[in-house]
A and B are shown apart, each in its own frame.
Chain A
């Protein structure tokens, strides 16, 4: 019940295309859903986050879509660029802890 399931494991997208990464959870106590971007050999960087009281949040080319009833959330990267090539992790936090539960990551490759 504490798991966050992330898919796909890897994703190849043409430059200018849309990258979509999906996550699903079971624990209804989760109340905060961040996405992290990690380049090889670096620490993850907080990209964008959403709380369950909204269904969508957009920051530049990055959008989180949240479906509370289906317990799913996804990251959309519009106009994907080669510089977006990285590993992306979704995560979830329960309202009564400060711990994040991470998905297993998606390796995105954007080709010119």
Chain B
């Protein structure tokens, strides 16, 4: 099955803890992205990577970090510095401009 997988589907953390969200793709896409979605808002870009070992900040990168050590993997760490981490996080990959999304991870921090 080709596609993008995100795990886990639901994640609960206490305030002050770092948490890492997983994103894996087997589409052989070079570019990968992380978005955050809040109720009533569109998708906001956190980080993106166009090639292995390289990534750029998006519009709301503060409090987040990423790595891109393998083409198929692009994990996102939500650090304790992120003021409002509770959100729906979406990973995407693209080739030729068309972006395809994973199923998302809903993170709740209390």
Contacts and interface: CB of A to CB of B under 8 A. Distances in A.
Interface string B20-47: 0000000000010100000011110100
A17 to B, nearest CB: 25
B91 to A, nearest CB: 8
B101 A93 contact: no
Contacts of B85: none
Contacts of B86: none
27 contacts: A34-B98, A36-B101, A41-B104, A43-B4, A43-B6, A43-B90, A43-B92, A43-B102, A43-B103, A43-B104, A44-B43, A45-B101, A46-B98, A46-B99, A93-B97, A98-B31, A98-B50, A98-B94, A99-B33, A99-B48, A100-B43, A100-B99, A102-B42, A103-B42, A104-B40, A104-B42, A105-B42
A49 to B, nearest CB: 7
B58 interface: yes
Contacts, number: 49
A98 B43 contact: no
A61 interface: no
A32 B83 CA distance: 34
Interface residues on B, range: 20 to 34
Interface of B: 4, 6, 31, 33, 40-43, 45, 48, 50, 58, 90, 92, 94, 97-104, 106
Residue among A44, A46, A93 with max Cβ neighbours from chain B (10 Å): A44
